[in-house]
Amino acid sequence: MGYKNVFKLIKCSDLIDGTGKRPIKDGAILLDGSKIKSIGKESEVVPPEGAKVELYDYSNYTIMPGMIDCHTHNNGFGDGRLGEELNLLADEILTLQSVRNLRASLFSGVTTIRENGPKNFTLINLKKASDDKLLLTPRMLICGRPLSIIGGHMGYFGSEVTGIDEVKAETRNLIKLGADYIKISATGGSTQTSFPYRHSFNMDELIAITEEAQKFGKLTATHCVSSQGIVNSIQADVDMIIHCMFKEPDGSNKYRPEVVDDLFQKGIYINPTLHVVRSTIWRLLHKKEEIGLTDHEETLLDSRQRDFEIHLKNCTKMIDNGLKLITGSDSSWSSYQSGNTVYETECLNIAGLSNMDSLLSVTKEAAKSLGVYDIVGTLESGKEADLLVLNKNPLDDINNLWDVKDVFLGGMLVNRGSEKSLKSIRQRRPSLN
Least Å distance between CB 108 and Zn ion? 18
Q: Is the peptide bond before 421 cis (omega within 30 degrees of 0)?
A: no
Report CA-CA distances (Å) from 317 to 167, 310, 312, 314: 34, 11, 9, 5
- The residue (of 330 and 384) whose beta carbon lies closer to Zn ion is 330
User: How far is Cα 56 from Cα 180, in angstroms, rounded to an integer?
Assistant: 34
What is the gyration radius of the CA atoms in the chain, in angstroms? 21
- The residue (of 223 and 368) whose beta carbon lies closer to Zn ion is 223
Cβ atoms of residues 155 and 148 within 8 Å = yes
Q: Please compute, for residue 366, the number of CA atoms within 13 A of its CA located in the half-sphere on the CB side.
A: 33
- The residue (of 17 and 330) whose beta carbon lies closer to Zn ion is 330
Stretch of residues binding Zn ion (CB under 5 A), selected from 77-85, 94-102, 194-202, 323-331: 323-331
Cβ atoms of residues 198 and 159 within 8 Å = no
User: How far is Cα 87 from Cα 82, in angstroms, rounded to an integer?
Assistant: 9
Stretch of residues binding Zn ion (CB under 5 A), selected from 114-122, 256-264, 386-394, 410-418: 114-122
Residue from 239, 330, 346, 384 binding Zn ion (CB under 5 A): 330
Stretch of residues binding Zn ion (CB under 5 A), selected from 145-153, 251-259, 329-337, 344-352: 329-337
Least Å distance between CB 403 and Zn ion? 27
Residue-level length of the chain = 433
Least Å distance between CB 366 and Zn ion? 15
Least Å distance between CB 413 and Zn ion? 31
- The residue (of 51 and 270) whose beta carbon lies closer to Zn ion is 270
Least Å distance between CB 331 and Zn ion? 9
Q: What is the DSSP letter of 147?
A: B
Cβ atoms of residues 373 and 316 within 8 Å = no
Q: How far is CA 5 from the centre of its chain?
A: 34
- The residue (of 11 and 71) whose beta carbon lies closer to Zn ion is 71
- The residue (of 116 and 363) whose beta carbon lies closer to Zn ion is 116
Cβ atoms of residues 237 and 209 within 8 Å = no
Cβ atoms of residues 376 and 361 within 8 Å = no
- The residue (of 330 and 386) whose beta carbon lies closer to Zn ion is 330
Least Å distance between CB 38 and Zn ion? 39
Q: How far is CA 163 from the centre of its chain?
A: 30
3-class SS at 272? Answer: coil
User: How far is Cα 305 from Cα 11, in angstroms, rounded to an integer?
Assistant: 44
Contacts with Zn ion, 344-383, as mask; x by CB under 5 A: ----------------------------------------
Least Å distance between CB 318 and Zn ion? 19
Contacts with Zn ion, 271-310, as mask; x by CB under 5 A: ----------------------------------------
Any contact of residue 108 with Zn ion (CB under 5 A)?
A: no
Q: How far is CA 92 from the centre of its chain?
A: 24
Least Å distance between CB 131 and Zn ion? 24
User: How far is Cα 20 from Cα 178, in angstroms, rounded to an integer?
Assistant: 33
Any contact of residue 314 with Zn ion (CB under 5 A)?
A: no
Number of residues that bind Zn ion (CB under 5 A): 2
Contacts with Zn ion, 68-107, as mask; x by CB under 5 A: ----------------------------------------
At a CB cut-off of 8 Å and minimum separation 6, what does 215 contact?
none
Any contact of residue 329 with Zn ion (CB under 5 A)?
A: no
Any contact of residue 116 with Zn ion (CB under 5 A)?
A: yes
Binding residues (CB under 5 A) for Zn ion: these are 116, 330
